[in-house]
Amino acid sequence: MSKFGFMKKQGSIYWMCQIGGWVSYALTIFLFAYVLERQISPVFLERIVISVMLGVIMTHFLRASIIVSKLKPPTPTRNWWKIFLLVIFFSFSFSLINSSLIEILRLFEPGRDMAKTESNQFVFSLDAIIANWKTTRVVRRLFFGIILDTPIFFVWVSIYVLWHYIDFANKEEIKKIKLETLIKELELKTIKSQINPHFIFNALNSIRALVDEDPKRSRQAITELSNILRSSIHSDKVEVTSLEKELAIVKDYLALEYIRFADRLKVVYEISPDTLKNEMPPMMLQTLVENAIKHGLGKQPGDCTIKITSHYENNKHVLKVINTGFLKPSENDGFGLQSTRERLNILYQGEALFELYQCASNQVTAKLVIPIH
C-alpha cells in the first residue's frame, strides 16, 4: 500500500470514529432524556443536532491543534499540561458557541433555560445559586455547559491518546519483527557465504587428484561439481529445501569423494519415502556428510561406511549420518558443525536439535531433529 493510500485509510478510520463517537453520545443523551421525562420536545432534538455537529467540528480542531503543537502521542510527560490547556480552551469555546447558538436561534422552552429535569437535583441547585447572582440566561447556560461538556472533551482526548499509544506500540512491534527478520536473513547469508567456499575447496581437491590419472573421470567429476554449485547457488535464495533435493547434492558430493577414497568408502541409505518432501535447511545434510568423510576417512586408516537414515519420530523429522570412526572432543567445535547449530537456532528458534555422539565402539552419529510444521 502506498503512503498516500495508507494516509487515506487512516483518515477514513478517524472520521468514522469521530462521527460514530458523537452520534453515540447523542443517542445516550436522548435515551436518558426519554427515560427521565418520557417525552422529547422538538427543541431538545434540535439542540442535540447542534451539539453533535459542533462537537465534531471542535474536537477536529482540537486534534489539529495537538498535531500542529507537536503534542501528538506518544507525548513527553512534561508536555501533558499543554494538552490539558487545549482541552480546557476547546471545551470553553464549545460551551460558549453552543450557548450562543441556542440563544440566537431561541432554542429554549418557556420557563426552562436548559435541557434539565427536576430530577437532576445537582443541576437544579446550581441553577438556583447562579440565579441568585442575577446572571443572565446565557451566562448560566455557559456555566452549565462548561461543567457538563468539559468531561466529554477529556473523554475524547483520552480515547485519542489511548488510540495513538496502541498504534505506536503496534508499529514498534512490527519494526522489531522486521528488524529480527532482517538480522536473521543476514546471519543466514553470512553462514552460507562461509559454508560454500569451504565446500568448494574440498570438492576441487577431489577433482585435482583425477586430472593426471583419469582425465575422462575428471571431466565427469567437473560435471558433478557443476551440478553441486548450481544447487549451492540456488540454496542462497531459500531458507529451506526438500530432503529429496538435499540427497541429490549429497550423492554428487559422495561421487566426487569416491574418486579419492575408492573402495574405502561405502554408502548406505535408509530413507523413508514419506520424508523426501519434508523441508530442511539447504546444504545442511551435505555438511554432516562432509564432516563424516573428513573424520571417518580422512583421519583414520581402513574402510569407512557412511550410513544416512531419515524417518519420522514423535512427529519430528529425524536425520542421522552414521560413520565409522571415533569421536574426539575437539570435533564438536568444527566450523561445519558450529554453523549447523547456528542455522538451526536461527531458523527454528530452539525447536530443532543437533547431536554428535559415539553411538558404538567404532561408530559416530550426527543426529538432526527438525520440527514438522
CB 304 within 8 A of CB 297: yes
Residue 132: HSE in the Cβ half-sphere, 13 Å Cα cutoff: 5
The pLDDT tens digits of the residues spanning 208-217 come to 777 777 778 7
Answer whether residue 191 is part of any domain. Answer: no
What pLDDT, on a 0 to 100 scale, did the predictor assign at position 119?
37
**d(C-alpha 299, C-alpha 109), whole Å:** 105
Of the three residues 125, 155, 178, the one that is the final residue of a domain is: 178
Residue 343: HSE in the Cβ half-sphere, 13 Å Cα cutoff: 28
Total number of domains in the chain: 2
Answer whether residue 318 is part of any domain. Answer: yes
Looking at per-residue pLDDT, the higher value among 163 and 299 belongs to 163
Answer whether residue 139 is part of any domain. Answer: yes
Residue 312: HSE in the Cβ half-sphere, 13 Å Cα cutoff: 12
Answer whether residue 198 is part of any domain. Answer: no
**d(C-alpha 244, C-alpha 289), whole Å:** 15
137 confidence band (pLDDT: 50, 70, 90): low
318 confidence band (pLDDT: 50, 70, 90): very high
What pLDDT, on a 0 to 100 scale, did the predictor assign at position 369?
94
What pLDDT, on a 0 to 100 scale, did the predictor assign at position 234?
63
Answer whether residue 215 is part of any domain. Answer: yes
Q: Which of 283, 326, 323 is nearest to 305 (CA)?
A: 323
CATH code for the domain in which residue 240 is found: 3.30.565.10
Residues 31 and 88 in one domain: yes
144 confidence band (pLDDT: 50, 70, 90): low
Find cell 440565579 and name the residue.
131
* Mean pLDDT over the full length of the chain: 76
269 confidence band (pLDDT: 50, 70, 90): very high
Answer whether residue 183 is part of any domain. Answer: no
Residues 137 and 274 in one domain: no
- 202 DSSP β-pair partners: none
Most confident of 109-118, 128-137, 226-235: 226-235
Residues 269 and 135 in one domain: no
Overall average pLDDT of the 152-166 stretch:
84
The pLDDT tens digits of the residues spanning 101-112 come to 877 877 765 444
Answer whether residue 200 is part of any domain. Answer: no
Residues 230 and 124 in one domain: no
Residues 134 and 237 in one domain: no
Residues 219 and 363 in one domain: yes
Looking at per-residue pLDDT, the higher value among 143 and 221 belongs to 221
Strand order in the sheet with 304-313: 265-271, 304-313, 316-324, 363-371, 353-360
What pLDDT, on a 0 to 100 scale, did the predictor assign at position 141?
62
The runs of H, that is alpha helices, within 236-370 are: 243-261, 284-296, 335-348
What pLDDT, on a 0 to 100 scale, did the predictor assign at position 179?
63
What pLDDT, on a 0 to 100 scale, did the predictor assign at position 275?
93
Residues 124 and 245 in one domain: no
**CA quadruple 235, 237, 240, 243: dihedral sign:** negative
Answer whether residue 189 is part of any domain. Answer: no
Looking at per-residue pLDDT, the higher value among 186 and 248 belongs to 248
Residues 133 and 52 in one domain: yes
Residues 166 and 254 in one domain: no
**d(C-alpha 120, C-alpha 133), whole Å:** 20
Is the model's pLDDT at 27 over the cut of 60? yes
Model pTM score: 0.49
Find cell 451566562 and name the residue.
139
Residue 121's domain comprises 3-178
Residues 222 and 348 in one domain: yes
Residues 223 and 315 in one domain: yes
C-alpha cell read off for 312: 519420522
Residues 56 and 142 in one domain: yes
